[in-house]
Amino acid sequence: MRVLFASSEIFPYAKSGGLSDISAAFMKSLAGDVELFGVMPMYSFVEKRGMKKERSFQFTFTSTTHEVEIYSKTKGSLQYYFIQSPIITSRENMYGDAEGDYEDNAFRFALFSAAIVALAKELKVDILHLNDWHTALAPLFLKEQKSEIKTVFTIHNLAYQGIFEAENLARIGIDEKKYFHPECLEFYKRANFLKAGIALGDAITTVSPSYANEIRSEQYGFGLEGFLEHHKEKLVGILNGIDTEEFNPAKDKALALRYDSNKLEVKHQNKKEFLRQHGLKDPRKPLFVMVSRLVEQKGVELLLETLPQLLEMRINLFILGEGVLEYEKRFEAMAQEYENFTFQRAYDEKLSRQVYSAADFLLMPSLFEPCGLNQFIAMRYGAVPLVHNVGGLHDSVHEDDSLGCGSGFVFDNFCAEEFLACIERALAAKKQSKKFKEMVQKNMDCDFSFTSSAKEYLRLYESLL
């Protein structure tokens, strides 16, 4: 079976969040079972060394002709393709800058989707696996070209749908009579790319079983709950995993000292050094951390609301993240006020590994969470997750450790009282050092790899052929 996996970001070439990690883990895990190719845009910052120019295409959308070049790179047994076009490459970042999203994103990612389809046909793949709205027009282009290639469309986060003014469709050359209606692209008079992927994909997946249920409710459906309910027969939730070779505290080059579940004293040394470097005192205090985009989804408002009480407890807190300016400013102000809190406004892959390795607890009070990866990475590095009982967090972290893999602390209702009570339970558990150590060790030895998810995807592909 030949499969082309298309994503707007694949680690290590581009990363803004979990999609990039998952794409890489997915490619690695499935490579042995199918003939697998990956494709992503060639952003301006992607390192071109070792790449080969394969060929060029021309796409004429309405009156303008666009040159697209396809580059390839082989990494081990994996073959990656990169779509280069001035409209993609001339932008500095992937999606936007301090001013907001790029105004030509509809066109940039429509062109990317058209190029994916051309590549899929040339590679003669059986399955085209698409991810999120950036690739969601591909099933529409395939349909227009009467292609037999089957599509799997994965929704990683329903909060991002790719909604644009309807005028863009004419520019992209999409037949509005055929596709701009509520059963396909139309969403309150605007064009919603994600809807096209849902309507025209042969199978729809999302990244955890709980999220697959939640998105059919008003609370988590972002206006698409009815539409998803209508397509529920082809919707399935498959829990993500992580690349356990990439995220491995025994081999991680970002760490000064490496360790496994039998060498937790080394983790403690990392913690001591980390606290020293980041201006925090007393390694006997439990270290809580957060590594996150600072947006409402990640529960930042709840954290800010409870921060004064939290910082009066006998803990240290370290937050690594960037995002909404207002949140950053408030964290900066609090960090000035409390000596047990350090805020690092950055996106820093290496530092993130050091944070996980130093931490006793990871805070993940997400308002909603399609799957989440931080909790898996934290458990692998021996930090116990403390999570809101929602989406993929519900499927991967359990306060009742008799449930097997994934032990942590969980609160049900998204409110200050329950969040703080959960932290109190975590602190009480930490005092029972023998039991707590067992919990940490068990988490570190759990299999959070993508292997079992990959098997489910394989079964899904087979069911489509």
Answer yes or no whether residue 9 interacts with ligand ADP by CB under 6 A: no
**Residue 402 has which token pair?**
């008799």
Angstrom distances, CA of residue 3 to CA of 81, 454, 457: 13, 13, 11
CB of 196 to ligand ADP, least distance (A): 22
CA distance 398 to 87: 46
| Residue that the structure tokens 């529409």 belong to | 140
| C-beta of 19 vs 116, nearer to ligand ADP | 19
> CA Rg, the chain, in Å?
23
Q: How far is the CB of 376 from ligand ADP (least distance, A)?
A: 9
Q: Which residue blocks in 180-284 are alpha helix, DSSP H?
A: 193-200, 209-214, 225-230, 264-277
Stretch that binds ligand ADP, among 44-52, 317-325, 414-422, 429-437 (CB under 6 A): 317-325
User: 275 or 373: whose CB is closer to ligand ADP?
Assistant: 373
Asked if 378 and 25 touch (Cβ cutoff 8 Å), the reply is: no
Which sign, positive or negative, has the C-alpha torsion 180, 181, 187, 193? negative
Shortest Å distance, C-beta 237 to ligand ADP: 15
Site string for ligand ADP, 141-170 (x = CB under 6 A): ----------------x-------------
In the complex with ligand ADP, the residue whose CB is nearer, 157 or 357, is: 157
**Residue 347 binds ligand ADP (CB under 6 A):** yes
Interface with ligand ADP (CB under 6 A), residue from 241, 321, 385, 408: 321
Member of 125, 291, 300, 363 binding ligand ADP (CB under 6 A): 291
Among the listed ranges 175-183, 187-195, 341-349, 442-450, the one in contact with ligand ADP (CB under 6 A) is: 341-349
Residue 292 binding ligand ADP, by CB under 6 A: yes
Binding mask 13-52 for ligand ADP (x = CB under 6 A): ----xxx-x-------------------------------
| Binding status of residue 241 toward ligand ADP by CB under 6 A | no
Of residues 20 and 261, the one with the C-beta less far from ligand ADP: 20
- Identify which of residues 3 and 320 has a Cβ nearer to ligand ADP in the complex: 320
- Sheet of 235-237, strand order: 52-61, 64-75, 78-84, 35-41, 2-6, 127-131, 150-155, 203-206, 235-237
- DSSP E strand boundaries for 209-267: 235-237
Q: Does 387 bind ligand ADP (CB under 6 A)?
A: no
- Pair of tokens at residue 9: 């970001």
Query: Residues 35, 348, 401, 456: which binds ligand ADP (CB under 6 A)?
Result: 348
Choose between 71 and 361: whose C-beta lies nearer to ligand ADP. Answer: 361
Give the DSSP per-residue string, 350-375.
HHHHHHHHH-SEEEE--S--SS-SHH
User: Closest residue to ligand ADP, Cβ-based?
Assistant: 18
Contacts with ligand ADP, 249-288, as mask; x by CB under 6 A: ----------------------------------------
CB 423 within 8 A of CB 417: no
Contacts of 394 by beta carbon, 8 Å cutoff, 6+ apart = 208, 210, 410
From 300, 334, 377, 383, residue interacting with ligand ADP (rule: CB under 6 A): 377
In this complex, which beta carbon is closest to ligand ADP, that of residue 89 or of residue 240?
240
Q: Count of residues binding ligand ADP (CB under 6 A)?
A: 20
* Binding to ligand ADP, residues 350-369 (CB under 6 A): 352
The answer to whether 75 and 33 have CB atoms below 8 angstroms apart is: no
Burial label for 302, CB within 10 Å (0-12, 13-18, 19+), is: buried
Residue 209, C-beta contacts closer than 8 angstroms, at least 6 positions apart: 237, 238, 239, 395
* Helix intervals (H) in 126-180: 138-144, 167-172, 176-179
The distance of closest approach from Cβ of residue 398 to ligand ADP in the complex, given in angstroms and rounded to an integer, is 18
Phi, psi of 41 (to 5 degrees): -70, 150
Tokens of residue 5, six digits? 């996996």
Residue 126 or 243: which CB sits closer to ligand ADP? 243
Which structure tokens are listed for 306? 């409870």
Query: Among the candidate windows 124-132, 271-279, 314-322, 455-463, which touches ligand ADP by CB under 6 A?
Result: 314-322
Cβ nearer to ligand ADP, comparing 348 with 399: 348
CA contacts within 13 A on the Cβ side of 386: 24
Q: Give the footprint of ligand ADP on this chain (CB under 6 A).
A: 17-19, 21, 157, 291-293, 320-322, 346-349, 352, 372-374, 377
